[in-house]
Amino acid sequence: MAEVAKKGLEGIVVAESKTSLVNGSEGKLVYEGYPIETLAENASFEEVAFLLWNERLPNKAELENLRSTIATEATLPAELIAQLKSYPVKADPMAMLRTAVSASAMYDKDSEDNSVEANRRKAIRLTGQITTICAAWDRIRNGKEPIAPRKDLTLAQNFIYMLSGDEPDATASEAIDVYLVLLAEHGMNASTFASRVTVATGSDMHSGIVSGIGTLKGPSHGGANAEAMNMFLEIAEPENVEPWFKKNIKEGDRRIMGIGHRIYKALDPRAAILEEKAKALAESSGNEKWFQIAKKLADAARADSYFIERKLFPNVDYYSAIVLYTIHLDVDMFTPLFAMARVVGWSAHIIEQFANNRLIRPDVNYVGPMGLQWTPVDQR
């Protein structure tokens, strides 16, 4: 008798990993032994990248070396900039990113080298280059020239600088840095699994990262924060929250985007941290409306029996939408920023997969017909 298939591989363990622990029932997220709350409060994105790639925190010299190397490697080849300028300006930013990262492999001297040393170099290079690609595309499609990264800035600071050309605002830089820390890694999610499946065949890191980007592009995965922001824009004003909730949720069949999670049956710990950052950024920018809408809607949901019984809480996408929108990022650029963070986790998993590799090849239960008789084409 055929084994019963687990739809979506739910509950199936496919690997052992040291990168992160996701405990959905208790609302816990741990990177390499460190609670996410500790890292969000104390660590820079570069420290988290070092941690995930090396299984330990860096010392001061190692951290500065990594920061400097990422900033240096973030510079794009002139040929790749020219390609970005040739893309249709109305192209989906995730389609752009998927294509640009694939193209970048052809300019990477390590692209076909799957040694540990080469993969570490590529992880650093891709982390910097994806940030530059995202910022460059936002300028190119708005008729502006891309701005090269500065070697003296952190990745979060460089992103804001490359978007505007201005000195990066401290509050905005901190909010983006925390966002990157929170999104860097999250267990065997769909895009991470796709990355590992790709390199398990013996393919290269760029191919694995492109697989991750293609998977993250889906609205059920990385696109949720954009959907959440579109919902807030639809509500438009804080006083519209209650009638919107009544019409669309209580009396309609709409979902609140960014509330509920496949894994978390308690509050997503990343959401609690981002709520604080979104509030601080809203206050410092003088643009508090979107935070007020989000907070009021979350409170309405948490007071409703439907959400209470089903243990539906805000997830990381909910308040991250407010953070990204407050720094004046277009909504369709939200998911590329997710990729900007998650490339660190993808590359850590790729390195881990290569260290103890076996082709990932699950079984499938055939449920189609049997014993059909062939009919010649002129008799069909």
**Which of 113, 85, 110 lies closest to 100, judged by CA?**
85
The Cα 376–Cα 367 span in angstroms is 25
Which of 108, 110, 177, 317 is the catalytic position? 317
Question: Sign of torsion, CA 223 224 229 231?
Answer: positive
Which of 186, 206, 221, 261 is the catalytic position? 261
- Tokens (6 digits) for 83: 């390609």
Q: Is 261 a catalytic residue?
A: yes
For residue 108, give the 3-state DSSP assignment.
coil
**Which of 272, 274, 256 lies closest to 312, judged by CA?**
256
Burial tier of 102 (Cβ tally within 10 Å: 0-12, 13-18, 19+): middle
Cβ neighbours of residue 311 under 8 Å, at least 6 residues apart? 265, 266
Cβ neighbours of residue 319 under 8 Å, at least 6 residues apart? 258, 271, 274, 275, 277, 278, 294
The Cα 53–Cα 120 span in angstroms is 8
Q: Is 317 a catalytic residue?
A: yes
For residue 228, give the 3-state DSSP assignment.
helix
Could you list the active site residues? 261, 317
